Structure 1
Amino acid sequence: MAKKTFQGVVVSDKADKTVSVKVERRYAHPLYGKVVTRSQKYAAHDENNEFRIGDRVEILAVRPISKTKTWKVTRLIERPRGIETTAVETEGGNA
């Protein structure tokens, strides 16, 4: 049986080795036919702390890693444009 995979956007990277990924799904309402967007957040394992807020990633269902973490980030799909800040850039300026 194939494992479940979702694509979503990283909304938090504050925890160590964990990112929160928001997955949105769209479907037609059964009675009215209007397209409805629902979202859910998943805690996903990020071993090397390499993913940042705004990254579009793919997550894969795995065995439980902790109480709330049963997903693992498998790959980076795209990074947002223009957001490449480092610690050196934010420190400098005040001489």
Structure 2
Amino acid sequence: IRDSVAWESSREYFYWRAKRRMLEDDFVSQLCAASPSLGKDGAVGVLQAMYGGDYDDDKAIVSFIESSAADLEAKVKSTKAAGVQSQIEALQKELESIDFQ
């Protein structure tokens, strides 16, 4: 529970809260799928860093996610590429350590 909400404004409050959570969870899921080692907290941290504003403002977060869809998608792709590169390097090191004699 983050806040007490007056009945008169509860519908609007929960609309923005739910919309933000759905958009945020979608991005976090995509980022975690791209790099499982990142974890949920790390993925949320990436979104916070990209936003750079008041992370408690649900309406502003929704606006940011919707207007920055291309940037967020690019971040997911670059994170996936970095993860794959890291796996390749780890496998290369493992391969080099094997004695084939």
What band does the TM-score fall into relative to the shorter chain? under 0.3
Larger radius of gyration: 2
| Bigger proportion of residues as helix | 2
| Bigger proportion of residues as strand | 1
Task: Give the structure-2-normalised TM-score.
Answer: 0.22
Higher relative contact order (CA 8 A, sep 6+): 2
